[in-house]
Structure 1
């Protein structure tokens, strides 16, 4: 069998098993070599369907190659390598094994040529990402993991319903572009959007990711939402509803990130915001827009992981994760600070960073289609991104009033991982053709024109000015912001308490009536069947007395007459 017929995801699955079987330097070797081999296997897969399997009456295509699929799989493999490098010294073996199996599911989705294969890998991701959340080891992590599992179980069921409906209606399991025009396609779209953290269920992301370990959050930031973006590109390019939904995600993520105090919750809401840009691009659906969504997904995985790495080092060294508990860390954590700033500039689309060369393609796609309001909304959102991720995160963590903390900088492996991704952010910003040449459609776009550069610099400058003018309003308190998760974390809990009290009241009434019924039956039994306390037969119950012979004969005659009458009737 040629290497092009070997699913690249299997390499990471095998590595996940080995991680639990070996220790020490051998485990480290497995962690680092497995993603390298996976990356090599990814680039052995040519375009088109490479293998087929008969399942029932359907043709399963476990491996299908294309430039789009390879690019997503490539960045996932790079993410696993750098994530493994970042994590191997402090993460527990079962967390690493779960993270590698989780990544294997993402890469499996990339090459799935049919809906059944995609669904299998989709659920593999859900299972092992839940384990990564549980590895946080705290009561909050366990509760968040349960909520996370419920949400993704619901999403999987909805996706499965849609797939079954499409298969019944069309007789095909192939992955191909469609529009949400009937119940089945709507179910598929909703199932995918749940993984994309689209409202009204976006809260699962900000609820679960910050509860994982500092290393687990890095892996979680990369795969689930971006495989959903890939699925949207493959299944729903040009779906109009995605434009409005994506714009809502963009604004929603900004607002809640600005309200947050927890460092990783800020970054988690920022994930929703950035995925919103990609969802808008998929909704626009042109070649430029789909190229923009793909390129921005690639860049986003890198700079978002870099930001989570920077936050993870701070939490690992200080044990604190609230903005009001941090500040002045640039003095003793210069490398972590510098890498965090590079990630913040990249997410803000600062010129010479990857965010500028990818996100601006989405805005250009809106201009090309004369979607003026979409362009204006994306422009305003870019300013908002600079407020919450470009300035708020590095300012409150590294530069605000000195907290008195003097932690050490990142361990060498964490520092090296951050430097790799920081360098990649700058490399793709300075040489955008490195990623443009890998995109699914030909690229006819020049990001560095004088007008674009000046426009974005002015936008970011005035955003920064607004931040410092409004700085007193940016300071947070020891609170947690709830959005739609209020429905199940507060309202749902209160509803269950009401139901519990209702059932308790019903049980009390039933118990009271049971006692009354017992007393009534006891009185009946005493009246008719009771035995006397003395030898006097007159104190016996009606049917416990010794009746005279004549009375007994009369009862027997009456009963026989009634029987004969009923028999002949």
Structure 2
């Protein structure tokens, strides 16, 4: 009998994506697609709410050969990501209402659904399948960005598929060490499979030197596509890390480095969508570090930070996307003065900028501090200092640079229309959540956010203490003062029109150069081999011609006695052989 409550809710969103792909393209069916785009995440959220009647609900059991699959697990950890991805799917759907491309609508739904199904997966095989579907579906959002996006999309797809292959290999090795158990629980680094899975997840959430696919693909995707891409892939990987590797010490240092190095590239980057991609990498570092710490306070901070991060990072990408939609560019050197013609977008962008910088009464203020407090509780002084530096850095490049160069700075002379109503509505919803989830409202505000957190703590964390508020304001105003001082004395790095290359230099320059050199050497070797082969064949052919041609030595007349002598010699040799063998 068909049981709606025994099917992973994300699968319905994937099905909706395929339905959108099959609907004929016309003016009438446009509204049908948009209705499905909005309704599917809402339906999935309702299913999650309805199914989770206990702390942990398992379902969707399948037997594939000797493997037992649990395709649905809704517990206190996965449910937060499930609700979050449904919320992101809804906001992204509203933001993309002006988008008339059937491929974008279909890919967005399949991508959203696979992310929801992935975080609600109970076994590693289902996790892998959804891991790969997110990669395949999301690449279409990159390719819709135009001609320059094709190569970036191919690189993006190659990296994502490689991550999935490594995840599957690691999962098989881990399951073998467990006696065939494929349940997706704590993995750890006790087996080679665990290390392989860690690297696979590290690729998807942008570990240092494995992160360049974000800065490469996200800015080249379509306007709507970039917003959607920023919501799911990396946060899916953060969920996988939180499930498989909590308390893994190496993640503390990986995360700390992730928070710091993007700051330097974001400062000199001209493309504001790339700036936000670096900022995304920076924020992921806080989450990875919190997972490495592994305490209840740190893990709750990770969950809270993931939740608000999807909202305020989406708000920033949406605001820059709205500017790009009206002006045709996201280059800081070509923008400025847009607060005159896009005042609502300006205000909404400032709310997103204040949220990511963790201003009091804005989203990250009540979540990022939990990770920092957990680092202090565990006496991790160096990682704490690195995250503190990164907090000031994110204020500089995302909190100040993005809105400053977009809406203020010099006047670019552009006078454009305000963003479309659907973009303003999506940005307004995100901005309202950024404010509401940070307010100290009894039974609401940040208390509502804290009620979603999965781990029990010995005490309730209180973000609005005198020490925390004053310390955070000191940090933020110090960053503002530093930016102002550098701009006043013209010491702030100028916006370069060239594309900044970081560790991808290894494959874009060194790797490409090595391939060109190997190709040239191969061509030269082929030329030499070809010449030598030609000389050998010519010489052999000449000798054969001299021997067997009508004028050759084998065609000349010979005395009849020669043939008789040769025959006799062969008979003598045969008799000797028989005699020897017979003896």
Fold equivalence (TM over 0.5):
yes
**Is contact 2:11-2:114 (8 Å) kept?**
no
**Is contact 1:328-1:397 (8 Å) kept?**
yes
**Is contact 1:134-1:145 (8 Å) kept?**
yes
CA distance in 1, matches of 2:506, 2:192: 26
CA distance in 1, matches of 2:208, 2:382: 21
CA distance in 1, matches of 2:532, 2:308: 68
Out of 70, 79, 93, the residue aligned to residue 102 of structure 2 is 93
Out of 526, 547, 555, the residue aligned to residue 544 of structure 1 is 555
Match of 1:40 in 2: 46
Q: Does 1:479 align with 2:490?
A: no
Counterparts in 2 of 1:561 and 1:316: CA distance versus 1, 3 Å: farther
Q: How big is each residue's C-alpha offset from its partner over 1:152-180, in whole Å with a ceiling of 9 and x where there is no partner?
A: 12211211111111111112111222321
Cα drift, residue 58 of structure 1: 2.9
Taking structure 2 as the reference length, the TM-score comes to 0.93
CA distance in 1, matches of 2:325, 2:335: 13
Match of 2:442 in 1: none
Question: How many aligned positions are there?
Answer: 560
CA distance in 2, matches of 1:16, 1:446: 42
Match of 1:537 in 2: none
Match of 2:468 in 1: 452
Q: Does 1:142 align with 2:150?
A: yes
Larger mean CA deviation between 269-278 and 437-446 belongs to 437-446
Q: How big is each residue's C-alpha offset from its partner over 1:428-483, in whole Å with a ceiling of 9 and x where there is no partner?
A: 11121121111102461111111111111111111011112223323221121222
Q: How big is each residue's C-alpha offset from its partner over 1:74-94, in whole Å with a ceiling of 9 and x where there is no partner?
A: 111111111111112125111
Alignment of 1:342-361 (within 5 A): 342-361=351-370
Alignment of 1:240-279 (within 5 A): 240-279=249-288
CA distance in 2, matches of 1:405, 1:173: 57
Larger mean CA deviation between 248-257 and 301-310 belongs to 248-257
Q: Does 1:24 align with 2:30?
A: yes
Counterparts in 2 of 1:566 and 1:305: CA distance versus 1, 3 Å: farther
Alignment of 1:115-130 (within 5 A): 115-130=124-139
Q: Does 1:167 align with 2:175?
A: yes
Out of 512, 529, 533, the residue aligned to residue 510 of structure 1 is 529
Counterparts in 2 of 1:530 and 1:235: CA distance versus 1, 3 Å: same
Out of 297, 316, 328, the residue aligned to residue 307 of structure 1 is 316
Q: How big is each residue's C-alpha offset from its partner over 1:348-369, in whole Å with a ceiling of 9 and x where there is no partner?
A: 0011111111111111111222
Counterparts in 2 of 1:477 and 1:91: CA distance versus 1, 3 Å: farther
Q: How big is each residue's C-alpha offset from its partner over 1:340-395, in whole Å with a ceiling of 9 and x where there is no partner?
A: 11111100001111111111111111122222222222222110110110001111
Match of 2:564 in 1: 553
CA distance in 2, matches of 1:564, 1:111: 87
Counterparts in 2 of 1:334 and 1:553: CA distance versus 1, 3 Å: same
User: Which SS does the other structure have where 2:142 is aligned?
Assistant: helix
Counterparts in 2 of 1:251 and 1:561: CA distance versus 1, 3 Å: farther
Alpha-carbon RMSD across the aligned residues, in angstroms, is 1.6
User: Which SS does the other structure have where 1:79 is aligned?
Assistant: helix
**Is contact 1:214-1:316 (8 Å) kept?**
yes
Taking structure 1 as the reference length, the TM-score comes to 0.95
CA distance in 2, matches of 1:389, 1:228: 23
Out of 197, 213, 222, the residue aligned to residue 204 of structure 1 is 213
CA distance in 1, matches of 2:508, 2:291: 32
CA distance in 2, matches of 1:453, 1:270: 23
Out of 349, 371, 376, the residue aligned to residue 380 of structure 2 is 371
Unaligned runs of 5+ in 2: 24-28, 440-444
Match of 2:226 in 1: 217
Q: Does 1:467 align with 2:476?
A: no
CA distance in 2, matches of 1:350, 1:563: 105
**Is contact 1:254-1:269 (8 Å) kept?**
yes
Q: How big is each residue's C-alpha offset from its partner over 1:497-523, in whole Å with a ceiling of 9 and x where there is no partner?
A: 111111111110111112212321232
Cα drift, residue 561 of structure 1: 4.3
CA distance in 1, matches of 2:100, 2:346: 22
User: Which SS does the other structure have where 1:223 is aligned?
Assistant: helix
CA distance in 2, matches of 1:562, 1:405: 103
**Is contact 1:76-1:107 (8 Å) kept?**
yes
CA distance in 2, matches of 1:454, 1:3: 51
User: Which SS does the other structure have where 1:373 is aligned?
Assistant: helix
Q: How big is each residue's C-alpha offset from its partner over 1:92-115, in whole Å with a ceiling of 9 and x where there is no partner?
A: 111221111111111011111111
Alignment of 1:329-344 (within 5 A): 329-344=338-353
Counterparts in 2 of 1:566 and 1:303: CA distance versus 1, 3 Å: farther
CA distance in 2, matches of 1:311, 1:223: 19
**Is contact 2:174-2:191 (8 Å) kept?**
no
Counterparts in 2 of 1:559 and 1:357: CA distance versus 1, 3 Å: same
User: Which SS does the other structure have where 1:222 is aligned?
Assistant: helix
Q: Does 1:436 align with 2:442?
A: no
**Is contact 2:333-2:495 (8 Å) kept?**
yes
Larger mean CA deviation between 330-339 and 282-291 belongs to 330-339
CA distance in 1, matches of 2:514, 2:168: 29
Q: Does 1:102 align with 2:121?
A: no
User: Which SS does the other structure have where 2:231 is aligned?
Assistant: coil
Larger mean CA deviation between 296-305 and 356-365 belongs to 356-365
CA distance in 1, matches of 2:577, 2:93: 87
Larger mean CA deviation between 397-406 and 127-136 belongs to 127-136
CA distance in 1, matches of 2:567, 2:553: 16
**Is contact 1:63-1:113 (8 Å) kept?**
yes
User: Which SS does the other structure have where 1:60 is aligned?
Assistant: strand
User: Which SS does the other structure have where 1:409 is aligned?
Assistant: coil
**Is contact 1:162-1:186 (8 Å) kept?**
yes
Larger mean CA deviation between 95-104 and 515-524 belongs to 515-524
User: Which SS does the other structure have where 1:238 is aligned?
Assistant: coil
CA distance in 2, matches of 1:564, 1:45: 96
CA distance in 2, matches of 1:337, 1:560: 107
